[in-house]
């Protein structure tokens, strides 16, 4: 026994303690490395975002003037503005949201409350997910085939339809996810009091999921406000003042696309101004919605 003790063997508890300390040191080191990588990735993202915003403000603010909001787009050197593009973007974005949001809300409600895991619901969910990830230029080409070519010309209503198609899957996904997060006990309590299912959904589930649904709608607005490819195939653009949905209609994304690659300095400057307006417009919508929701709570 004395020979075995003098051979350098370590008692069981001491050996276990040594292994535990080694594992603890390794875990602490791994945690530190992962935490450092996460912080570095966050800082990198903030730096990139900050540089984009700084460049946008620096280049866009230099061209901001009253002329931008009072004059329509004109030939180079004519002191033109972006009035028709701003109004066209507001009209098409609002119409696309108004058309797409109720459809997406109803489809998302069906998937979460009625269809669940039925074959039809799974098929609809699959199509919605495919549409969510589809390139927007394909949507523009599809609307061109059904709403532009058959009617013999580009139009604002075709642009609204294309934007509405982009809105629908975003609202579907957020509505379904938010309604599924509501605890079943809340529904059961309302049904136990005698409320019909449609009232439970409208008066209770929608209210409980309002933050998530509104966030989804805001994401959809932010998505379509900067879309260019679908509008090139549908509303095309218009250098003249026009608010008729039956005619080609100007928009900020298309104007930015046309002006950014121009050889004329005043058009390039207007492209930066248009990008600045879109960015801060979407930011203002998000802030206003958050203020309204917080006040409601």
Label residue 290 by pLDDT band (50, 70, 90): confident
101 and 52 fall within a common domain: no
Residues 35-59 have pLDDT tens digits of 999 999 999 999 999 999 999 999 9
Please check whether residue 107 is in contact with residue 172, taking contact to mean a CB–CB distance below 8 angstroms: yes
49 and 72 fall within a common domain: no
108 and 45 fall within a common domain: no
- Alpha-carbon distances, residue 263 vs 17, 60, 217, 258, 268 (angstroms): 73, 17, 37, 11, 8
pLDDT exceeds cutoff 60 at 4? no
**Exposure of 229 in the CB half-sphere (CA atoms within 13 A):** 11
**End-to-end C-alpha distance for the chain, whole angstroms:** 76
107 and 251 fall within a common domain: yes
Q: What percent of the chain shows pLDDT beyond 90?
A: 70
25 and 159 fall within a common domain: no
The answer to the question of residue 7 being in a domain is no
Residue 25: domain span? 12-61
Can you give the CATH number for the domain in which 235 is found?
1.10.3720.10
pLDDT exceeds cutoff 80 at 5? no
The answer to the question of residue 1 being in a domain is no
Pairwise pLDDT comparison (52 vs 290), residue with the higher score: 52
In the prediction, which pLDDT does 297 show? Answer: 57
47 and 115 fall within a common domain: no
The answer to the question of residue 178 being in a domain is yes
- Per the structure, how many domains does the chain have? 2
CA distance 179 to 156: 34
Which residues touch 279 (CB under 8 Å, ≥6 apart)?
53, 56
The answer to the question of residue 2 being in a domain is no
Residues 198-230 have pLDDT tens digits of 999 999 999 999 888 988 898 899 889 989 999
46 and 156 fall within a common domain: no
Angle at 58 between CA 52 and CA 62, to 5 degrees: 145
Q: What percent of the chain shows pLDDT beyond 70?
A: 94
In the prediction, which pLDDT does 25 show? Answer: 86
- Alpha-carbon distances, residue 170 vs 32, 95, 128, 179, 233 (angstroms): 37, 16, 8, 14, 22
210 and 237 fall within a common domain: yes
156 and 201 fall within a common domain: yes
Residues 119-168 have pLDDT tens digits of 999 999 999 999 998 999 999 999 999 999 999 899 999 999 999 999 99
Helix (H) or strand (E) holding 86, with range, is: helix 83-109
Q: What is the pLDDT of the chain when averaged over all its residues?
A: 90
The answer to the question of residue 121 being in a domain is yes
Label residue 12 by pLDDT band (50, 70, 90): low
DSSP tag of 147: I
CA distance 17 to 116: 52
- The domain boundary, picked from 22, 39, 61, lies at 61
């Amino acid at each position: 026994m004395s020979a075995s003790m003098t051979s350098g063997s370590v008692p069981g508890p001491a050996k276990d303690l040594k292994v535990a300390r080694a594992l603890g040191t390794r875990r602490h080191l791994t945690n530190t490395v992962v935490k450092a990588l996460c912080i570095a990735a966050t800082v990198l993202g903030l730096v990139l975002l900050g540089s984009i915003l700084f460049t946008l403000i620096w280049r866009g603010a230099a061209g901001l003037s009253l002329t931008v909001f009072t004059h329509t787009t004109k030939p180079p050197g004519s002191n033109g503005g972006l009035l028709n593009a701003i109004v066209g973007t507001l009209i098409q974005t609002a119409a696309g949201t108004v058309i797409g949001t109720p459809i997406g809300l109803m489809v998302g409600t069906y998937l979460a409350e009625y269809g669940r895991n039925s074959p039809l619901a799974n098929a609809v969910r699959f199509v919605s997910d495919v549409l969510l990830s589809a390139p927007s230029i394909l949507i523009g080409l599809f609307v061109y085939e059904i709403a532009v070519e058959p009617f013999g010309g580009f139009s604002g209503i075709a642009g609204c339809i294309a934007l509405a198609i982009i809105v629908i899957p975003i609202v579907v996904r957020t509505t379904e996810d938010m309604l599924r997060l509501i605890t079943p006990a809340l529904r059961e309590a309302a049904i136990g009091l005698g409320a019909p299912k449609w009232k439970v959904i409208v008066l209770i589930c929608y209210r409980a999921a309002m933050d998530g649904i509104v966030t989804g709608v805001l994401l959809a607005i932010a998505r379509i406000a900067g879309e260019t490819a679908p509008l090139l195939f549908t509303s095309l653009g218009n250098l003249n003042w026009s608010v008729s949905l039956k005619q080609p209609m100007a928009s900020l994304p298309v104007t930015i696309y046309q002006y950014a690659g121009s050889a004329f300095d005043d058009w390039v400057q207007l492209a930066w101004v248009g990008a600045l307006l879109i960015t801060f417009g979407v930011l203002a919508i998000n802030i206003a919605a958050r203020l309204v929701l917080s006040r409601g709570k």
